[in-house]
Amino acid sequence: MEVAAVASAPSAEEVSELRKHTRLSEAQITRLHERFTALDRCGKGLISPSDFQSIASVASNPLLSRVLTVVSSSGDGNISFVDFAKAFAVFLPQTDRQEKLRFTYMMYDIDGDDKISNSDLMEALKMMVGPNLTDVQLQQIVDKTFIEVDSNRDGFITFSDFEKLSLPISLDNAHVLQF
């Protein structure tokens, strides 16, 4: 089996785009590229969902497929280097609260219509808790959440609603990875 050659360093274009849209340093971009290249088992410049499944510490995460969908610019779960680096940038300590909240919001917005519906929240919670709660219990949680959070009672949680919900929550040490 022939393995395609993968660049050992990120391209100047990738570095430029990432420096413009993230708070990643050039050294961090280079380190991330090394990790990306190691994960790209086929050498195609993409990390596939099956590549992630081969990482024991990640494969058991019930939200893996959702994270890959949110992070993938193509929406198919395949991650380019730029997708990979932008996703990691969200977890930098210096990334602002708004960006971290937006990422979290997207995790719940299953259908990607920029609002969280009853079914979006139900599906996200099912992914998180698995068989530990019944559908009836989950629906009770969803209903209570909507009563507390849906400010205009239109049946959707907007980003603004989500933001207000998270005001008392400190994200200083949440959504942080060191690399």
Give the domain-ending residue among 90, 107, 125.
90
The more confident residue out of 170 and 164 is: 164
pLDDT tens for residues 13-54? 999 999 998 989 999 999 999 999 999 988 889 999 888 888
The confidence score (pLDDT) of residue 173 equals: 53
pLDDT tens for residues 92-135? 888 888 998 999 999 999 999 999 999 999 999 999 999 999 99
Q: Do residues 111 and 120 make contact, with C-beta atoms less than 8 angstroms apart? A: yes
- Side chain identity at 27, as an amino acid letter? A
Same domain, 86 and 30: yes
Q: In sequence order, what are the residues at sequence separation of 6 or more whose Cβ sits closer than 8 angstroms to the Cβ of residue 75?
A: 69, 112
Q: Do residues 97 and 159 make contact, with C-beta atoms less than 8 angstroms apart? A: no
The confidence score (pLDDT) of residue 5 equals: 45
pLDDT tens for residues 122-134? 999 999 999 999 9
Query: How large is the C-alpha radius of gyration of the chain?
Result: 18
Same domain, 114 and 57: no
Assign residue 148 the CATH number of its domain: 1.10.238.10
The confidence score (pLDDT) of residue 132 equals: 94
Any domain includes 3? no
Same domain, 21 and 81: yes
Question: In whole angstroms, what is the distance from residue 80 CA to residue 88 CA?
Answer: 12
Any domain includes 46? yes
Reported pTM: 0.81
Q: Do residues 83 and 72 make contact, with C-beta atoms less than 8 angstroms apart? A: yes
**Domain span including residue 81:** 12-90
- Side chain identity at 154, as an amino acid letter? D
Count the domains in the chain. 2
